[in-house]
Amino acid sequence: MSGPYDEMIDQMADPEEAKDGERVCRALTAAMDQEQRNDFDFLWEYSARENQLPPPGDWRVWMIMAGRGFGKTRAGAEWVRMIADAYPEARIALVSSSLAEARAVMVEGDSGLLAICRPGHKPHFEPSLHRVRFANGAQAQLFSSAEPEARRGPQHSHAWCDEIGKWPLAGERATRCWDNLMLGMRLGEDPRVAVTTTPRAVPLVQRLVAQAAKGDDVVITHGKTGDNSRLPDRFHDAIRNEYAGTLLARQEMDGELLEDIEGALWTRSLLEQSREAGAVPEAARTVVAVDPPASANGDECGIIVAALGVDGIARVMADRSLGGAAPAEWARRVAETAQEWSADRVVAEANQGGAMVESVLRAADQALPVKLVHASRGKVARAEPVAALYAAGRVRHVGVFARLEDQLCGLLVGGTYAGPGSSPDRADALVWAMSELLLRKTLRPSVTAL
């Protein structure tokens, strides 16, 4: 495609011309009045990083797959603005996981369409019509990926799809929405789609990655959280604290699509399908499951909070696991967690330490509702029926539990563990929690002959 920005991109790639451009830019800035300088702040071509600008070439889909805070939303919104400025006849689809998300992020967000346009040149947003109208006649229509059939019929020349890794997976809605969108990309001489997403091992993302590898008109731009030097230190610290030392750090910070281990009981795609956000149903039962370390110098004490909702779905609510702790320390953590979540039961594996486990927990809180469980099978064998519950949609994760999920994806069919650390302590605690909530044997009424 020969677009209004291709020549500028070519010049930026030439170091000598870039230096000349910097000198000209400084001279122009010095000659500007304040109003002109304010307008200059909105010239994306001069402030963007190279990997935030559309790549040259004859691509059909451009996907920015990058870590959190990279500036994906800004890049997508600026691309839409460029298209609208260059093509008054443009009809652009803005697709997100929901209409509310499309409005809050793509249109009205800090890096959305209304924020990036200089005063006096902002497009007009019509919330009731889910439409953005530009002064030159170009239009953008908002769509929800949760309603894939709404993409049947409408035609577009361009589209911006945001966070496709978060699009709903039930009933293959994400892929159905994408397919209907692509079938409607038939306006203009050169329809194009921009995609901005954090990597997620979901079918649609994996499909686009595979198409890019085959050269099927899909171009991928990769980026990391650290590429954005404008982010505050507190954001970097928060991300590091949340994901440091995990495989998910490569996904959430480095923008890398994580591959599954062959033969794993849990896959990244399965966990993404189990992800849940927002309000959850009331809990009928809440348990804290504990996998004690084998010794005082053991790897970790796995401590997982899980709740069985009134809807019959079990949910992982929190991971309070503790590493390198003495018995009194991890017992205190268990007691505090049970109190915080008003747990009905504390389920603790007693294979390592037996009665000592209960006595340590009782020392932390005499009233703790402890139930000791004994493992008759290995960790992986115990995990298999729980993995089946995930596949059946009976378990969900309320949020992201990076270290726990790394361990789950390291449990392999056949009894091998190939995940981080020497033992899947967090995963084992989760298995005990789900076994208590969903696999516990219950007494059923029966008729006995007398």
From the number of C-beta atoms within 10 Å of its C-beta (0-12, 13-18, 19+), residue 110 rates as: exposed
Q: How confident is the model at residue 20 (pLDDT cuts 50, 70, 90)?
A: low
Q: Which residue's entry shows tokens 């954005």?
A: 228
pLDDT tens-digit profile of 413-444? 877 898 888 889 999 999 999 999 999 764 44
* Count of CB atoms situated within 10 Å of the CB of 38: 12
- CA dist., res. 220 & res. 223, Å (int): 10
Interior CA angle at 434 toward 428 and 438, to 5°?
150
pTM above 0.85, yes or no: no
Residue 380 three-state SS: helix
Which whole number is the average pLDDT over 98-124?
Answer: 94
Please report the pLDDT score of residue 443 as a whole number: 40
Interior CA angle at 390 toward 387 and 391, to 5°?
90
- CA dist., res. 140 & res. 87, Å (int): 12
pLDDT over threshold 60, residue 7: no
Which whole number is the average pLDDT over 311-316?
Answer: 97
pLDDT tens-digit profile of 351-377? 766 678 889 998 999 889 999 998 877
pLDDT over threshold 90, residue 410: yes
Residue 307 CA: distances (Å) to CA of 24, 131, 390, 402, 434: 62, 41, 15, 19, 9
pLDDT, mean over the chain: 88
- CA dist., res. 7 & res. 86, Å (int): 14
**Domains (range + CATH), the chain:** 6-249 (3.40.50.300), 268-439 (3.30.420.240)
Q: How far is CA 11 from the centre of its chain?
A: 35
Which whole number is the average pLDDT over 63-76?
Answer: 96
Which whole number is the average pLDDT over 163-192?
Answer: 94
Crossing angle of helices 327-340/355-364, nearest 10°? 60
Q: Which residue's entry shows tokens 């084992």?
A: 428
Please report the pLDDT score of residue 446 as a whole number: 43
pLDDT tens-digit profile of 122-152? 999 999 999 999 999 999 999 999 999 887 8
CB 18 within 8 A of CB 12: yes
Which whole number is the average pLDDT over 5-16?
Answer: 47
- Compute the radius of gyration of the chain from its Cα atoms: 26
Phi and psi torsions of 252, nearest 5° = -75, -25
* Region of 44 on the Ramachandran plot (φ > 0 left; ψ -120 to 50 alpha; else beta): alpha
Contacts of 208 (CB under 8 A, 6+ apart): 61, 63, 164, 195, 218, 220
The one-letter code for the residue type at 375 is: A
pLDDT over threshold 70, residue 10: no
Crossing angle of helices 173-183/203-214, nearest 10°? 50
Q: How confident is the model at residue 19 (pLDDT cuts 50, 70, 90)?
A: low
Q: How confident is the model at residue 1 (pLDDT cuts 50, 70, 90)?
A: very low
From the number of C-beta atoms within 10 Å of its C-beta (0-12, 13-18, 19+), residue 3 rates as: middle
Please report the pLDDT score of residue 297 as a whole number: 59
Crossing angle of helices 425-434/379-391, nearest 10°? 60
pLDDT over threshold 90, residue 239: no
Sequence-separated contacts (24+) of 124-131 with Cβ below 8 Å: 127/103, 130/99, 130/102, 130/103
Q: How confident is the model at residue 37 (pLDDT cuts 50, 70, 90)?
A: low
Please report the pLDDT score of residue 25 as a whole number: 65
Kindly state the tokens that stand for 276: 């849940």
Which whole number is the average pLDDT over 309-314?
Answer: 97
> What's the first-to-final CA gap in the chain, in angstroms?
86
Please report the pLDDT score of residue 3 as a whole number: 46
pLDDT tens-digit profile of 212-233? 999 889 999 999 999 998 888 8
- Structure-model confidence comparison of residues 11 and 40, the more confident one: 40
Residues linked to residue 402 through DSSP beta bridges, in sequence order = none
Short-list 146, 149, 76, 138, CA closest to 107: 76
* Count of CB atoms situated within 10 Å of the CB of 190: 12
Helix (H) or strand (E) holding 143: strand 139-144
Residues linked to residue 300 through DSSP beta bridges, in sequence order = 323
pLDDT over threshold 70, residue 2: no
